Amino acid sequence: MSRLFYVFGNPINHSLSPVIHAMFAKETGLDIRYEKLCLEKEDFAGQLRELLAREAIAGANVTVPFKLDAAKFATTLTERAQRAGATNTLLFRAKDDVLGDNTDGIGFVRDVENRQGVDLTDARILLLGAGGAARGLIAALIEKTHAITVTNRTLEKAEALAHDFNLKSCSFSETDAPNWDIVINATSASLKGAVPPVGEKALSGAKLSYDLMYGAKPTVFLEKAQMLGSKKVADGLGMLIEQAAESFLLWNGVRPLTDAVYEALRRRI
Ligand code: NDP
């Protein structure tokens, strides 16, 4: 019988995860079913308990707005999920034994190092944004480098996040300097076609400018970075696929190959 997996979110219609996991299943020859399910925003735990009572679910991905609820639902958290303060992957090991993990940060690390070919060891990083995605990234990045500066529109949030991980923070107005190897846009500005007010010299001096958002065309942030002379630019499609591969590994004990999936999805979006 196929093992059953879900991705929970609200909204969830746009999710590429079922397509990605179907490709992983084909590539690894495993018999899995992976469905998307839109849950009501209230009472994540109650809805999940009801579902678990009805169906034998092996694991789940969890996306906006349920990543904190999922962390609470888990009975054990991996170290990186604890550091991130959020969970995007659940493994249902037994009744009352639910492992929570966060694969977003490691997905970013793998995409940057293996696909973009940029070494993160001791890299100087400027991180734009202080929301859930920024925290998830830091939770994995600090295993590679502590030279991370956090900046955010609401400066106090950048300061609090930097403080939690013993990192530096600064305001956007202090970013006009060629001081960083990698500039990461972990804000949601690109969703609205906006660019965070990062200094031009930060982008022109970067070996890599990376936007967590992805789409058919480069985001306005990536267009600006390219125009200003960033050596490389990349969007978050690779991160999305690599975080999915890490979840797949946790659930099935096999890490699927991701390059063909990346090429296929790049064509599809
Ligand atoms: P949150 O809502 O938690 O945080 C949003 C962040 O963006 C805040 O720091 C906010 O600043 C900032 N922001 C929003 N609008 C602007 C703007 N116009 N100018 C400057 N800053 C702005 O979102 P998440 O952290 O969950 O997600 C951030 C992005 O990352 C999203 O686009 C999401 O789709 C993407 N993502 C991609 C993944 C992938 O696999 N590729 C995985 C996870 C996320 P303030 O605090 O001042 O409000």
Give the pLDDT confidence of 69-95 residue by residue, as tens digits.
999 999 999 999 999 999 999 999 998
Q: What average pLDDT does this structure show over 195-214? A: 97
Assess whether the C-beta atom of 106 lies below 6 angstroms from ligand 1. Answer: no
d(CA 241, CA 90): 17
pLDDT tens digits, 139-170:
999 999 999 999 999 999 999 999 999 999 99
pTM for the model stands at 0.95
Per-residue burial over 241-260, b if 16 or more Cβ lie within 10 Å, else e, is: bbbbbbbbbbbbeeebebee
d(CA 157, CA 171): 11
pLDDT band at 241 (very low <50, low <70, confident <90, very high): very high
Q: Is the CB of 65 under 6 A from ligand 1?
A: no
**How much is the pLDDT for 1?**
83
Across 55-59, 115-119, 187-191, 249-253, least confident range? 187-191
- Mean per-residue pLDDT, 232-243: 98
Contact 93, 39 (CB under 8 A): no
pLDDT at 16: 96
Res 247 pLDDT > 90: yes
What mean pLDDT comes out for the span 179-195? 95
Q: What is the pLDDT of residue 157?
A: 97
Q: What is the pLDDT of residues 25-53, one digit of tens each?
A: 999 999 999 999 999 999 999 999 999 99
Once rounded to an integer, what is the mean pLDDT over residues 56-71? 96
Measured torsion, CA atoms of residues 125, 127, 249, 111, in degrees rounded to the nearest 10? -60
Q: Over 90: is that where the pLDDT of 121 sits?
A: yes
Structure confidence at residue 168 (pLDDT): 98
Residue nearest to ligand 1 atom 40, measured at CA: 240
Tell me the catalytic residues. 67
Measured from the CA of 107, which atom of ligand 1 is nearest? 40
Average pLDDT, the chain: 97
